Structure 1
Amino acid sequence: MRDFIVAALVFGSLPYIFKRPWFGMVMWIWISVMNPHSQGWGFARDFPFAAIIAGTMVLSILFNRQKFRMPLTAVTGTFLLFIVWMCVTALFAIHPDQVGTQWIKVMKIMGMTIVVAMLVTERRHIEWLVWTVVVSIGYYGVKGGIFTIRSGAQYRVWGPIGTFIDGNNEIALALIMIIPLMYYLLSLIQHKWGKRAMIASMLLCGIASIASYSRGAAVAMAAMMFFLWLKSKNKAVMGSLLVLCIPVALLIMPEQWHARIDTINTYQEDDSAMGRINAWRMAFNLANDRFFGGGFEIYDPDVFHRYAPIPEDVHAAHSIYFQILGEHGWIGLWLYLTLLILTWRTGSWIIRNSAKLPEFEWAANLARMLQVSQLGFMVGGAFLSLAYFDVPYYLMVAMVATRVLVERGLRDVKPLPVRRAPSVFAVPPPTTVPDDEKARNEPV
């Protein structure tokens, strides 16, 4: 039944996508982030829904009267350079015969990010993007939160199989990223029960993230909540809610959860943590030895034997930063960090300049929450191999599109004429005397 529902939604949407390409953006993010077909048990699991939607989007853009272009900014320019550099490093990969599959996967993500950036041109498109990301990931958060409450948090929460977020660590970070976005959407909802449903969803997503038993997610959650309070307009209310909710959440978690989190203080005794550090050292040594890095697919015994302090302890990078460093070298890491910094600075620019335009208050609120989401990703991503996770790139697009709208609003504002106060030293203009008055004053 699930297979037929997903198929009906996808094929039923194709005429709308062909007529309105930005509707394809919604369907693409939904199918690629949520992976609803993975919830089925039949033909839908392996059906190429994403390729069908992507192909329809591209045809719609080509045959549409409106011209779609990606805005050229410092962020998008750096993004394009990053893509080019990844292609270059793939040519000089340690295992050139093995990088093809991963390169195609990454280029699909980057290519569709460009397509999404071309289509997001209005406020409604930006909010559709945010809503789609929230619903796609929030579905698993709400379900996982309910499961945690029913089971007494005795079991871990996992993500959908075969996706970027299938692991407990990955789904936890994804949920942390959408909680600030849900807070932004909360400000847009007018209906009382809609607000209550969104608040409940935020709490359930938070519970599901904690119940993943992920130590990296626990650190990211703490950073995200602090920054959420810092960026919130109602700091007193937000602070009170956090003070009330955090102790309750910690109290309901079982003893094994606390034992798991406590290992952060004794990471030297934890094989998993030391394995990650070994992988980080391997990436560091590899980048120092090879200018172009190792390319994709470097996590194997051969590479670890050459560059890792403990050759037999083979692990994935478990860090977006060391993942980029090992695969694309120091230049790749510099481009990636520059992309993150420029995206952050774009949000700061939006917040600063939206103060001049009351009608763009929504843009400032969105930029704040996008920054909080990015911070959660940057902190949690330090412990996960999610450098090519598509959601951060979609949120980057939302940030860029919001800035473009604010810039357009600033250009449309006509400056008022400046009225200068008269100086006390100004010489008064000469008084003009009418001709008849002069005649009366002349002597006869």
Structure 2
Amino acid sequence: MGRADLRGAVRRGARGTTERRRRGLAVAIAAGVAGAGIAALAASAAAAITMARRVVTPVRERPEDIRVLAVDTARATIRLSRTADSAVPGRYGFWFAGGRGHARVGRVLHEDAGSVTRVLESVQRGTLESAPAGRWGGWYWLEPGELGVAAVETSIRTPVGDAPAWFVPSVDGGSGAGEDWIIHVHGRGASRAEGIRAIPLARELGWASLLISYRNDGDAPASADGRYALGAAEWRDLEAAVAHARDAGAGRIVVMGWSMGGAISLQLLVRSELAGLVHGLVLDSPVIDWRTVLRFHAALSGLPRSVGEVAMGLLGTTAVTPLVGSAEPIDLASLDLVARADELSVPVLILHSDDDGYVPIDASLALADARPDLVTLERFARARHTRLWNLDPERWEGVIRAWISRLDASSGRTARPRRRGAADGEPTG
């Protein structure tokens, strides 16, 4: 082989080597891209499973994200770090020491860019001075007895067992027979104490109150899987409470649902054979369509919309319910009361805030638009989730009072207002 031929062979060999390297590099890049795609897909799937599990898993511990900067018991003040919750006017509960401590805080005295100083009204549990942080709450009272009313500890026979409840007659010593009843249904991660705020108004209007617990809320027995069904199963526990009220001789029954308690209340209306015993609903910051809520939280968490959509799909897929932890799939479409608005047959009062921060007002607006003949919407601002009473109790009570009066008129009854006093809900400490 001549020198020229040798040079040509070398060049051809070099070109072949370069081409092989390029092909190898292309294959490696393709494999890397595919691997990254698979990894991204796996990460998205894991995020969707985590989100789906979080939705149905009962809340037992909550982060204490508001720092306690100073406590002055002599002046009855507390200075807290400024957050979206701690800066809103009104009266609130403040939980600390992992939920073992509780205080009542009142009006804002001073605020700046980083802190808020408020009235410290009282401490019910724990030592606030030693608490580094706590969390905001709408529960101003922890037990009905703090109102100075006589509450009867009772229980409701539900499909999962006996669930504790408080019964507060409209007048001391009442048995409930012949009285109109309001059944209070608390929200996700809350307890029956959430509804205590409504007892004084109920008594003023001559209504008894039944504050119930339901499966997996920490007070009532757990279901077999120990998971929330977002109203798809809990309505049966509310149905048992309605049957209890009927058997006790209740007259009219109104159900008041808070947050997820609103979803439970609405499911009772469209699923229960006892729905005809319910004369109306009062819903505070209600979940009316879970898909609206879950999309909101996916966006709030910075998750891609696709992850939220997959999470919602997982909740309703039988094959993957073991990964989520639920015994049965949850059909989110069946829980959408905007889509099922034509099934409503009793008056509904909705109280919701534009600044809820947890359950967006969108579905409440849509339901009010769909059924203006039955649904009354009272729209608040600034109030956070289920804390409308805390921000403006006069307005909150006034709206419900007027709605009950209209219900009385439609029933041919006359409201029975009573003079309020310490025994009817004025703070005792």
TM-score range, shorter chain: under 0.3
Structure with the higher strand share, 1 or 2: 2
Bigger relative contact order, structure 1 or 2 (CA pairs below 8 A, ≥6 apart): 1
TM-score by length of 2: 0.26
Structure richer in helix, relative to its length: 1
